[in-house]
A and B are shown apart, each in its own frame.
Chain A
Amino acid sequence: MITTLLYSMTGLILFAMGLFTLIIHSHPLRKILAVNVMSTGVFLILVAAAYKPLGLGKIDPVPHAMVLTGIVVSVSVTALALLLACRVQETSNLDLLERRKQEARPKESNQ
């Protein structure tokens, strides 16, 4: 009972932290990491809901199958998202940002 509660609360906190990071950060790799942490929290809640201690009967295998499928799907989604992030980084107009940043740097050092 306490194990179910502990891991469910952990999954909830992980989901909340991942959502917070997904909203406030701007780097695409950080966003992909945050989505991974959010999916981990959901899996943790699903498996913790199916947990029973060792003497109290068998464990329901349906959430385990769902979580197994979800892990494999999340890895492939991560690979696709990383590829898309690389393409965005390579095709966006970065020289303009670099020039603006180098123009802005002496101002900061003067301040």
Chain B
Amino acid sequence: MEILYNSGTLLIIMGVPFFWSGTVGLIRFPDIYTRLHALTKADNVGLGCIVCGLALQSGSWTVTAKLLLIWLLVLIASSASCHLIARSAMQKNIKPWMRS
């Protein structure tokens, strides 16, 4: 149990910098498409690491199933809305950023 708890803590420690890198990328990146890239990394990988760590630490199956359901819902929501935003931006002729 000690190994499970410690590996869960390690996964949470891995997950938190993804959120911070998503925020910093959202502020620093020059274009709407590159900002979408940073946002999806924070959504998928950061929350995935935190959910897996908490699921390793919680000793019950129902809590684990609920955590995985939350992650699945966030994945569906973020992929759908990011795809909608990117397609709408392409239809509105917003040019992607080029290194000039």
User: Do A and B interact directly, with beta carbons closer than 8 Å?
Assistant: no
Q: Which B residues fall within an 8 A CB radius of A? A: none
